Structure 1
Amino acid sequence: MAENLNITTLTDDNFEEEVLDADQPVLVDFWATGCAPCRQIAPIVEELADEYEGQAKIGKIDVIENPQTARDYGVRSTPTFLFFENGEVKEQVVGAAGKQPLKENLEALLGQPA
């Protein structure tokens, strides 16, 4: 599968710049390589990245390779999705909940009806 250019790869080092300092809402997917639900929902995250290109940033951070950020935000299970606006967490969805809850939270941040 080709890498989706609309998804930002996040790390402990670039998290502040890419997420906290972002000038648009950000959906962060906290995931892990061995996580089956993470693999299950990955295509949905890619769809959202394409659908919201230019409106919201979609980022993924591997919690195994970047444990500090996961600890900072209390992420204890994967996948966990955090929705940021102006550097603050506005919503959280834990587990592979499907596309609708993720879309609804993005729409709320963008001030659009879901």
Structure 2
Amino acid sequence: MQEYCLSVFNQCAPVFDMLRDCHRQEIVTQLTKQGELSVSEIVEGSSLSAPTISHHLKLLTQAGVLSYRKEGRNRYYRVNLERMIGDLKKLTEILEKEFATQEKRTDEKENSNR
């Protein structure tokens, strides 16, 4: 169980890593609120330069936080909420089970020591 728990945590780790940056948080928040946006629309809603936004978009996409579709020369980005929520739910479920198992072991140890 612990190996599987670590595997799922490692699957979620890139999301945690990407969202620790305040600029990436702003991009994800903007996309969550406004839906799918082009790069130029994201730049318009930010104080960052276009190259900096593009860098953050690339990192967020590589981590699976965002996805995009191409239309002509434009890329339209959106948040992969379903995937992130699914991964986080899976991690939460595993951690809850692991915690319950550890709690049960502790109770059994305490009862056997009496």
TM-score range, shorter chain: under 0.3
Report the TM-score when normalising by structure 1: 0.25
Query: Would you tell me which structure has more strand in proportion to its own residues?
Result: 1
